[in-house]
Amino acid sequence: MPTDKNLGPATRIAAAALAAGAILVAAPAHADSKGTVHLAYVEWSSTVASTNVVRVVLEEAGFDVKTTSLAAAAMWQSVASGDADALLAGWLPTTHEDYYNELQDDIDDLGVNLDGTKLGLVVPAYTEFDSIEDINDNADKVNNEIIGIDPGAGLQRLTGEVIEEYDLDVRLRDGTDATMTAALGNAIDNDEDIIVAGWTPHWKFARWDLKYLDDPKGVYGGAEQIHTIARKGLKDDMPEAYEILKNFNWTSDDMGEVMLMNEQGEGEPYDNAKKWVEENADKVNEWLGK
């Protein structure tokens, strides 16, 4: 999910993360390979889904692919520095605007790969209140807290602004995507109220009946788009891979299918991506230019 707005320090953190050694997954090299495409990603369920699907498609086109899991700041920096070829998780125009503004001269925006993202406070559909303005009157029902995600996430920063702007009598708990969804699932199993910082696309909306609380002051902003970002020079170095990355575009429903397979443990993310690609040949052929 979205990351913090202090890009200068984040850039230094990115370099440290790279130096520390991120998780690297490389496909075996083949003698007839068209080259190796290096995709950087973060361990968000949405990005795991998109990265694995694109990996499978690039491999079908004859490329070797390696993927590196990084913090979001390091992901952006790795592409800007040329250490990675592309990322599929550029949340624009708002969430990652500072990353984009600082690094735009060193990256190539290939356009939107998913339209209609959303950030906000999420509650079970059975929750009796519908607006952020209603939280203080019901704060005791949610233990006077909002369950958040990573402390460096832009969503956390925005949620802190929401608490201040609406003068909410709640605290924001740091956590992760996994701890947030675990808390949400536990509350729903016990028919309890809970408020979590959430976003679309995410598999939780496919698993549970949820709703966003209205944000009449618009602190979370409007819908965003997820962009594919490539390093400078990729178009000249590997034009076919560049075109595939540029053509990649799918819907929240498409992504949700893959995310839910991953979450339900039906297979490894790479295997689930292969299954989805096989079942969606028409769409994939458009990405391949067939």
Domains of the chain: 7-116+224-288 (3.40.190.10), 118-212 (3.40.190.100)
pTM: 0.75
How far is residue 51 from each of residues 12, 210, 276, measured CA to CA in Å? 25, 26, 13
Is 46 within 8 Å of 259 (Cβ atoms)? yes
Which residues, at least 6 apart from 216, have a Cβ–Cβ distance to it below 8 Å?
131, 132, 133
In the chain, DSSP finds a helix count (H) and a strand count (E) of 12, 10
**Average pLDDT per 10 consecutive residues for the chain, totaling 290 residues:** 45 41 51 90 92 98 97 94 98 85 97 92 98 98 96 87 98 94 97 96 90 96 92 98 98 91 90 97 95
pLDDT for 18: 43
The pLDDT assigned to 196 comes to 98
For β-strands 107-124 and 86-92, DSSP reports them as unpaired
Confidence at residue 9, expressed as pLDDT on a 0 to 100 scale: 37
According to the model, what pLDDT value does residue 26 have? Answer: 52
Q: Is residue 51 within 8 Å of residue 258, measured between CB atoms? A: no
How far apart, in Å, are the Cα atoms of 232 and each of 36, 106, 181, 229, 257?
Answer: 16, 6, 37, 10, 32
| Among the listed residues 212, 219, 206, the one whose alpha carbon sits nearest the alpha carbon of residue 255 | 206
DSSP 3: B
pLDDT score at 29: 53
What is the structure's pLDDT at 13? 37
